[in-house]
Amino acid sequence: MLKARLFRLIHSPSFREGYTHWILSLEDTRKKIEAWRMEYITFRPHGFLGDLTSETFIKNQVSKAKISTLA
């Protein structure tokens, strides 16, 4: 499914005009997407999470859950 989506994206005229220099291979694309995903989860704060990173928000929720089960 990912392969089909990437194929459609890569072969769309608007994509080819501006972004083809970014993609070297499917494996390179996967690595870049995974690096972006990890940055997004780990370092970028999100307004809907109270300006916390996803990782910090999850840690806070786990801590709250542990405290509430102990009480």
> How far lies 35's CA from each of 6, 7, 21, 29, 41, in Å?
17, 20, 18, 10, 10
* Three state DSSP letters for 16-48: HHHHHHHCCCHHHHHHHHHHHHHHHHHCCEEHH
**Predicted structure pTM score:** 0.48
The encoded tokens of residue 35 equal 């690096």
Number of domains composing the chain: 1
Domain ranges, residue 19: 2-70
Q: Give strand pairing partners of 43.
A: none
Which tens digit of pLDDT belongs to each residue from 4-51? 777 776 666 666 555 556 667 888 888 888 988 888 888 888 888 999
The residue with tokens 């990437």 is 6
